[in-house]
Amino acid sequence: MDDRLQTARELLDHDDKLTFDDRKKLGDLLQYVMSSPKADLAPAKTKLIEINLEKAGAVTKEVIMDFLAKVTAEMLKS
């Protein structure tokens, strides 16, 4: 999972529509949701990711949300 998180962070880092603070906040939210998808706050944090991605480019937004959905679904199965 660390590789997936690193890939997501790299994608965020290459989106010039996001500020440094936006990238940091999104990276932290992704890390929380990916490490604790069953936690009570995971749905709220996922919604915050979606809201914060509004500033991102369309490709970044689509890839991150798809990525997050797949990772969360995989972790919830186990």
pLDDT over 90, % of the chain: 33
53 contacts 61 by C-beta, under 8 angstroms: yes
**Which single residue is written with the structure tokens 């995971």?**
42
pLDDT > 90? residue 33: no
Q: What is the pLDDT of residues 3-16, one digit of tens each?
A: 888 888 999 999 99
3-state SS, residue 1: coil
pLDDT on residue 1: 59
Which amino acid type is present at position 35? Answer: S
Structural domain that includes position 15: 2-77
Whole-number Cα distances in Å, 38 to 4, 31, 41, 52: 18, 13, 8, 21
- Total domain count, the chain: 1
Token couple for 15: 């989106």
Which one, of 46, 40, 44, 42, lies nearest residue 64 by Cα? 46
